[in-house]
Amino acid sequence: MTAAESLASIQPQTDPVSRSRNGVRPHAARPVPGDGMTIQANFETLITVFGGSGFLGRHVVRALARRHYRIRVAVRRPELAGHLQPLGRVGQIHPVQANLRHAGSIAAAVRDADVVINLVGILFERGRQRFDAVQALGAEAVARAAAARGARMIHVSAIGADENSTSAYARSKAEGEKAVLAAAPAANIFRPSIVFGPDDSFFNRFASIARFSPALPLIGGGHTRFQPVFAGDVAEAIAAAVEGETRPGATYELGGPEIFTFRELMDYILKTIERRRVLLPLPFWLAKFQATFLQYLPKPLLTPDQVELLKTDNVVSRQAIDEQRTLRALGIETRLVQAIVPSYLWRFRRTGQFKTARHG
C-alpha cells in the first residue's frame, strides 16, 4: 500500500464538490479532498497560522485540518493551545512559540512553511499590546518573513480599515494591509465584518450585560449597520485562498447574508435570551465619556476608540460586490445569525436550554 493509499484509508471519503445553480457551494458539500493523491499532496504542505489559538483561529485550524494540511500554530503561549489538538490527527497540528515583537521567533515559525496566515489582532490596547505594534508592525513582520521564505501570505484585517479613520484600530488595520502588500504583493487580505460564533466578543458580551443591567446602550442611537459573518465561513474563505481559489493580491470583504442595525442586533439578543431590557439611546459624545472610564476594566465593556468605530457602518462595500471580492464570489454560502447564535446564547436565559422562560 502506498503512503497516499494509507492516508486515504483512515480518512472519510467525500463526494465531489457540488454547486447550486447560482454557483454557491452548499454547506454539506464543502470541498474536503478525499482521494489519496490529494490527501498526500496536502499533507506535504505546511501552513503556519499566527494567532491560531484564538476565536477565529480555532475555526481556521479546523478547516485546514479537514483538508489534511500540516499546521504549525504560532502563538505566544503554546502550552495553552492544547485545545487545538483534537481538531486534527496525531501530529498534524503543532503549536510553537512566537511573538510578533521578536523577528527571530517569527522567522523560526515560518521556517519550511508553504503558506503563512496572520490572524493576530486586538480589540483594545493594554500595556505593550498597542494597535500599531500588533496590527501594523506585527503584520509587516509576518509578511516580510513569509516573503523571505517564499511562502504565500494570507492576512486577516477588518471592514472599516482606513488610514484616515478617527479610530486608531481602523488606522492600524489599514497600515497593516499596506505593509503586508508592500512586502508580499500577491498576498490575499480578508476584511470581515463582526465575526460571530461560540465565544465571540459581540453577542456574548451584550447578552452577558443583559443578565445584570436593566438597560442596553444604543450608541449613537443604534443606527450603525453591521453585516455579521460566521467564523466558520471566514475560515472557509481562508481555506479557499490556501487552495488557490482567490485572485493574487486581492482584498476580499466578508459579510453575512443579512445587514442589521445596532438596535436590531440588541433586540435580537434580548429575544434570544428571553429577557426584557430598556434599549437606551446614547449620543456618541456621552458614550465616549462613559467609555473613558469603562476602558480601565480588566476586560473593557467599551473604549473611546470603539465608540469612534461605531460612527461608521460595518458592511461589505458596493465596490467589493461589483468586483466579486466577497464570500459569494468564492462560492461560499454564508450562514444566518439566526441559525448559529441561539446555539450558544441559551446559557444567558434564566432557565437555560431546558424550557422557555417568561421574559424578565
Q: What domains sit in the chain, N to C, each tagged with a CATH number? A: 45-196+229-255+316-335 (3.40.50.720)
Q: Which residues of 204-219 are buried (b: 16+ CB within 10 A; e: fewer)?
A: bebbebbeeeeebbbb
Kindly report, residue by residue over 103-140, the tens digit of the pLDDT: 999 999 999 999 999 999 999 988 888 999 999 999 99
Percent of the chain residues past pLDDT 90, beyond the cut: 80
Question: In this predicted structure, what is the pLDDT of residue 7?
Answer: 43
Give pLDDT, residue 34. 57
Give CA–CA dist 327/252, Å, rounded.
8
Average pLDDT, the chain: 89
Query: What tens digit of pLDDT does each residue of 281-326 get?
Result: 999 999 999 999 999 988 888 999 999 999 999 999 999 999 999 9
Instruction: State phi, psi for 351 to the nearest 5 degrees.
Output: -115, 20
Confidence check: pLDDT of 163 > 50: yes
How far apart CA 186 and CA 13 sit, in angstroms, is: 33
Tell me what percent of the residues of the chain surpass a pLDDT of 70.
87
**Neighbour count for residue 85 (Cβ, 10 Å):** 17
Mean pLDDT of all residues in 8-17 = 38
Beta-strand pair 225-226/215-219: unpaired
Confidence of residue 353 (pLDDT cuts 50, 70, 90): confident
**pLDDT tens, position by position, 33-58:** 556 666 766 878 999 999 999 999 99
Contacts of 163 (CB under 8 A, 6+ apart): 171, 174, 175, 178
Whole-number Cα distances in Å, 43 to 35, 38, 89, 239? 12, 8, 11, 14
